Structure 1
Amino acid sequence: MSNHSSTFEQAYQGEPAVWLRYGDLEAAVLPGVGANLIAYRDHGSGYRFLREPEEQEMDAFRANPGVNGIPVLFPPNRYEDGTFTWNGRTYNFPINEPETNNHLHGFLHTIVWDVDFHEANEQESRVGLSVSIDESHPVYSYWPHSFTAKLVYTLSDNGLQQQISIQNHGNDPMPMMLAFHTALNAPFAPDSTAEDVTFHATIGQRRQMSERMLPTGEFQPLSAWEQQLKDESVNPYGEEMDNHYTAEPRNGRNIAEIVDHRVGVKLVYDVGTGYKHWMIWNCKASGSFLCPEPQTNLVNAPNVNVSDEEKGFISLKQGEIWEETSRLYVVKSL
């Protein structure tokens, strides 16, 4: 790979974007739409690793930016009746999923982020983005904490690295619940089909979910197909998935992998062991994309009566920082 690298600002289908280039690799992030990393491509092979909106879909994407690129979810997934009480404080969120009467996916993926820098050298290209919430921000009314979220994306010989940090600036402890609704193309190669790919993830136990897609506190046995997904790999569209799992890292790595057997290439999504849970959704076995979603916490965590350790519930005291690093890269498949 050539190590030519650059960064620049240029619209992505009409939306302001910052672009990263490194050799054949290219990525674009949208600061005005929740710092969504909307594109990750390899021009040398024609691979498009993330599900991108078509030009005519941009208005729909802006209205609901949850199923393209890499949206930042905070707090992630569903909260029963849009509310929870923690540390003597009650939090109330808008009901944005009327069919379940839940709040879904929080606010970081829809609001405007700042671009702190973008820069390139011979080793990499990178962009840093951040958003700070305080009393002057509209979301403070339902998340009454002062904090800063920072994201840094880096392109290099090692693929696409993502570094996220959350710091509490307030006097009171703050709940920290985070996920990424990462939408991966499967297949990602232009001439491959759904039959050419297999999928593996370091899932553990499957959570039982209610009709409102909230954890009951119980577990369900894995199907034979899910067991194969866990142990080896399997076609990702063999069953419909909208499932919640514990994470079970192997060799110290918490990963989801898509192998395109036609081209002999494996896409590795190494999310880091700070994420204790997975949601995995394959859009009703659509055959085109799936979302392996690393989550720090159990869905509806504050309302579920299990230990904080089991549900991955994190409390940040004043000044404390939570941080994790993930990476998307390809290797030749055996």
Structure 2
Amino acid sequence: MSEYKAWTDSYQGEPAVWLRAGKYEAVMLPECGGNLVAFRDLEANYRFLHEPKESEMEAFKKESYSYGIPVLFPPNRYEDGKFPWKGKTHQLPVNESERGNHLHGFLHNVPWKVTEMGQTSSESFVTVQVQVDENHPVFQSFPFRFTFMLRYALSENGLSQQVTIRNNGTEEMPSLLAFHTAVNVPFAANSPAEGYRVKLTIGERWELNERMLPTKRFQPFGSLDTSLKNEGIYPFTEEMDNHYTVQPQNGRNRMELTDTTLGVTFVYDAGTAYKQWMIWNNFNRGEFFCPEPQVNLVNAPNVDLPAEEVGLYSIGPGEIWESVSRMYVK
């Protein structure tokens, strides 16, 4: 019989919520951007996410993109920090100075509030949220009133992630979202990284300019792209910072990372609400890579293409946007 448990403790000196469900364990850091920094299989000694070590905690707090599951809202790059929306242009801070872009939004490094945690007969769970209004520092650059809720749950089916965004304002707000999910290679202790293969449900590859912004054109698939879509590739075949459309396979939108030595596959089923993928392998340094499900195209508000094509969606007053993703082993 599985044991389900949720409790508070510290992680590398930070306040944390710990979840346990049988062989699975997860750790969430509410005050560090609501980042779920660990998802483990204790029996098999698998660590699926790139976790910050004690010596890396200061770097993690400044730039969390390389650890766990950081929330990007709004995600990725915006040219000159400009964010045109419904006849107004909002100015986001230019925090990628070398390219003159705004990068990765606001929610990955602000404190989140724990609103619920506990266990049932079938899962352990925690819910955290950020509520943005005139009193929140985010509002100055992103003047929308909303509540962003994240619910993580552990069960015998692995880790589920439920996202709920509620518009509390009187105007339509943009629903632009991604997760900069950092996945270990290898995830199994003592398994050779060279035996790992990653596969993504990708469609077309966007051409990016020198500022890493889409040109509105697709570029031809190379052999790496074709293999990534089909049989899979070694995640460190070459340096990757690639942007793709989603093309579901068998009705699913997911990343599969297979340890061919063990015959074990880690599945990240992001769900079909996410219409784009980024895949970034940290300058091909090894150790981890980031398959990043995105609702929208990079720089979507500044790209002159149909809103549906670039994922430039809105949430009306009082409306809710919701999606569920899952991580598990097969």
1:275 is matched by which residue type in structure 2?
Answer: Y
Q: Partners of 1:74 and 1:182 in 2: how far apart? A: 14
Between the aligned partners of 2:157 and 2:135, the Cα distance in structure 1 is 39
Tell me the equivalent position of 2:140. 141
Tell me the distance in 2 between the aligned counterparts of 1:136 and 1:203: 40
How far off is 1:258 after superposition? 0.4
Counting only pairs closer than 5 Å after superposition, residues 1-334 of structure 1 correspond to structure 2 as 2-331=1-330
Query: CA offset at residue 122 of structure 1?
Result: 2.5
d(CA) in 1 for partners of 2:175, 2:120: 34
Secondary structure of residue in 1 paired with 2:15: coil
CA distance in 2, matches of 1:93, 1:14: 32
SS of 1:299 mapped into structure 2: coil
Q: Offset of 1:159 from its aligned partner?
A: 0.2
For residues 247 and 6 of structure 1, the distance between their equivalents in structure 2, rounded to whole angstroms, comes to: 36
**8 A contact 2:274–2:294 mirrored in 1:** yes
Match of 2:67, SS? coil
Q: Deviations along 1:89-144, whole A, 9 cap, x unmatched?
A: 22111111111011100001111111011111221101011110001111101111
SS in 1 for 2:109: coil
Aligned partner of residue 100 in structure 1, secondary structure: coil
Partner SS for 1:284:
helix
Consecutive unaligned residues in structure 1, runs of 5 or more: none
Cα distance in 2 for residues equivalent to 1:20 and 1:66 = 22
Counterpart secondary structure, 1:262: coil
Stretch moving more, 43-52 or 224-233? 224-233
Give the whole-Å Cα distance in 2 for the aligned partners of 1:139 and 1:73: 13
SS, match of residue 11 in structure 1? strand
Distance 2:193 2:123 in 1: 33
Distance across 1 between alignment mates of 2:93 and 2:283: 26
One-letter identity of the residue aligned with 2:89: T
Report the alpha carbon displacement of residue 286 of structure 1 after superposing the two structures with TM: 2.1
- For 1:54, the aligned partner's letter is K
Question: Aligned partner of 1:330: which letter?
Answer: V
CA distance, structure 2, for counterparts of residue 223 and residue 55 of structure 1: 40
2: CA distance between counterparts of 1:65 and 1:292? 15
CA distance in 2, matches of 1:284, 1:108: 24
- Does the 8 Å contact 2:83/2:92 carry over to 1? no
Bigger shift: 113-122 or 176-185? 113-122
* Sequence identity percentage: 54
Where does the alignment leave 5 or more consecutive residues of structure 2 unmatched? none
Q: Which stretch has the larger CA shift, 297-306 or 228-237? A: 228-237
SS in 2 for 1:53: coil
Post-superposition CA distance 1:226-250 (Å, at most 9, x none): 1011012121111211000000001
Shift in Å at residue 193 of structure 1?
2.0
Give the TM-score, by structure 1 length. Answer: 0.97
Distance 1:204 1:77 in 2: 19
Q: Give the deviation of 1:298 after TM superposition.
A: 0.3
> What are the Cα deviations for residues 311-330 of structure 1, in whole angstroms up to 9, with x where unaligned?
01111110111111000000
**Distance between the aligned counterparts of 1:40 and 1:12, measured in 2?**
13
What are the superposed Cα offsets for residues 168-209 of structure 1, whole Å, 9 maximum, x if unpaired?
A: 110011011000000001210010122110110001100000
Q: Deviations over 1:66-106 (max 9, x none)?
A: 11000000000000011122112221111111110111000
Paired with 1:65 and 1:235, the residues of 2 have a C-alpha distance of 24
Q: Which amino acid aligns with 1:163?
A: Q
What amino acid maps onto 2:153 in structure 1?
A: T
